[in-house]
Amino acid sequence: MNDLSSLKAVDIVQKLSQNQITKEDVRGFFNKRITDLDPYIHSFVKVFTHLSPADTGLGIPIGIKDNICIKDEEITCASRILNGHRAVYDATVIGKLKQAGFLIMGTMNMDEFAFGSSTENSCYGPTRNPWDITRVPGGSSGGSAAAVAARLIPWALGSDTGGSIRQPASFCGVVGFKPTYGRVSRYGLIAFGSSLDQIGPLTTNFVDCAYLLNVICGHDPYDSTSAQVDVADFSKSLIDNVEGLKVGLPQEYFRQGLNSDIAKAIGEVAAVLKGRGAQITNISLPHTEYAVATYYIVGCSEASSNLQRFDGVKYGLRVKSSELLDMYKKTRGEGFGPESKRRIFLGTYSLSSGYYDAYYVRALKVRTLIKRDFEEAFKQVDVILTPTAPTCAFKIGEKAEDPLSMYLSDIYTISANLAGLPAVSFPCGFSKGSLPIGAQFIGRPFDEEILIRMGYTYQTVTDFHARIPLVTHG
């Protein structure tokens, strides 16, 4: 059987079109990798065996995060409270994938309801990082990132509310792209934070990323927040040229708390771009220090509102009781995990009478200030370069009893969600302990093209994205 693990997904497409390989070859190869390696990684919730590729189209396997609806398939958001619930319709992105002929290989593990940065908060158990299975893959799209990194699938979809695509992409050494808010339909995505959530791709490289963005982006009348903005052909942004482009380094992202290996790697990214003709300049995003607090008030408030529909009446788990209120309590008590309960409590508190103005309304005002910081910065530069995460992948269980430390894992990614901006994490090196390091580009609204151009140029002269972990146990 041909070894397809080192090929780009678009190269596999080309081989299929030229009849050098068959769809059966492709599915057989990735099925075998999943069978051989996923018992150590646990990236899949479910591997589909009954779906066949469309008669026309790609026929290349893709993994779908377990919070995106696939008609007639169980969708649980990795939560007991949705145990047994099957989607009654396809999410818009799923419809687009099916129309394009993608082979949906299965659903991917995640933090329950996307609440987490480690994929440890899953009713199915934790996913493990393929570079070191004693460590987390990041979260909440950890299953998607880990599977792509291990080449169990060529590409996957995740969702990003505060870094849930980009942070696991950084930990696993892959490309994770969060498009502009409204660029990709949220119809069929089970909501965490409705003003923050965005579906996006995880791939090994920017070529595949551009291809997948072409498929999933576009206006959708079923999503009231979907932007009526023209979508470019992102493959035309795969240009090896950053001459004259201005890259900003926000000083607030390079202070105490940033791992020294990561700081060094980001400096080396800047040096590569400068060597290719880009201009590097220091900038300021002065309200960055308030981003985490703002995000957790806004995000938890929206989560509290969105998750109130899960009460044992219409969806999933229902604990029997003769009293309605008792049934609600028992169902939610048994169905939601600890982190979900924590965020529901935080959000309900922030929205409660007497605290709404002090917390939620104030957080919205600070969110506006954060957005204005970016608007001012983009008057000076074309793109912003930052670390994706302050550390590399940490040990499983290391931060389980320290929620605040876990929340700070997203300190560099949260602001892009609050401002609705496109951002991408891409591999840029390895730590002294041989763990992947990710860098992040942030762009202007609906300027995904510049992120692809910058990333593609970087990857033409580096090979971090081409390295494949040797998955072993013990």
Number of structural domains found in the chain: 1
The answer to the question of residue 65 being in a domain is yes
| CB-based contact 278:243 (threshold 8 Å) | yes
What CATH number does the domain containing 407 carry?
A: 3.90.1300.10
Kindly list the catalytic residues. 65, 140, 164
pLDDT of residue 336: 96
Q: Which domain holds residue 74?
A: 9-287+367-466
What's the distance, Cα to Cα, between the start and end of the chain in Å? Answer: 28
pTM, two decimals, is 0.96
The answer to the question of residue 308 being in a domain is no
| CB-based contact 176:168 (threshold 8 Å) | yes
CA distance 368 to 387: 23
Nearest to 185 by CA among 93, 263, 84: 93
The answer to the question of residue 359 being in a domain is no
Number of C-beta neighbours around residue 311 at 10 A: 18
Structure tokens at 43: 């990236």
pLDDT of residue 1: 58
| CB-based contact 107:70 (threshold 8 Å) | yes
Number of C-beta neighbours around residue 421 at 10 A: 23
pLDDT of residue 182: 98
| 219-255: b (≥16 Cβ within 10 Å) or e | ebeebeebbeeebbebeebbeeebeebbbbbbebbbe
Helix, strand, coil share of the chain (percent; to 5): 40, 15, 45
Find all residues with CB under 8 Å of 190, minimum gap 6, and list them: 67, 68, 69, 75, 77, 113
Nearest to 161 by CA among 299, 68, 259, 64: 299
Structure tokens at 183: 């660029």
Quick one: residue 72, left, alpha or beta (phi over 0 = left, psi -120 to 50 = alpha)?
left
Report phi then psi at 342, rounded to 5.
-60, -45
pLDDT of residue 51: 58
Nearest to 111 by CA among 99, 98, 122, 127: 122
CA distance 412 to 4: 34
Does the N-terminal peptide bond of residue 321 adopt cis geometry, omega within 30 degrees of 0?
A: no
pLDDT of residue 53: 47
The answer to the question of residue 221 being in a domain is yes
User: For tokens 């151009």, what's the residue?
Assistant: 453
Structure tokens at 137: 């893959």
**In terms of DSSP bridges, do strands 103-108 and 61-65 run parallel, antiparallel, or are they unpaired?**
parallel
pLDDT of residue 474: 53
Residues of the chain with pLDDT under 50: 53-56
Structure tokens at 97: 């994938």
- Name the residue type at position 92: T
Number of C-beta neighbours around residue 98 at 10 A: 18
User: What is the strand order of the sheet 436-442 is part of?
Assistant: 44-47, 103-108, 61-65, 155-160, 198-203, 175-178, 423-430, 436-442, 383-387, 246-250, 279-283
Angle between helices 9-17 and 206-216 (to 10 degrees): 70
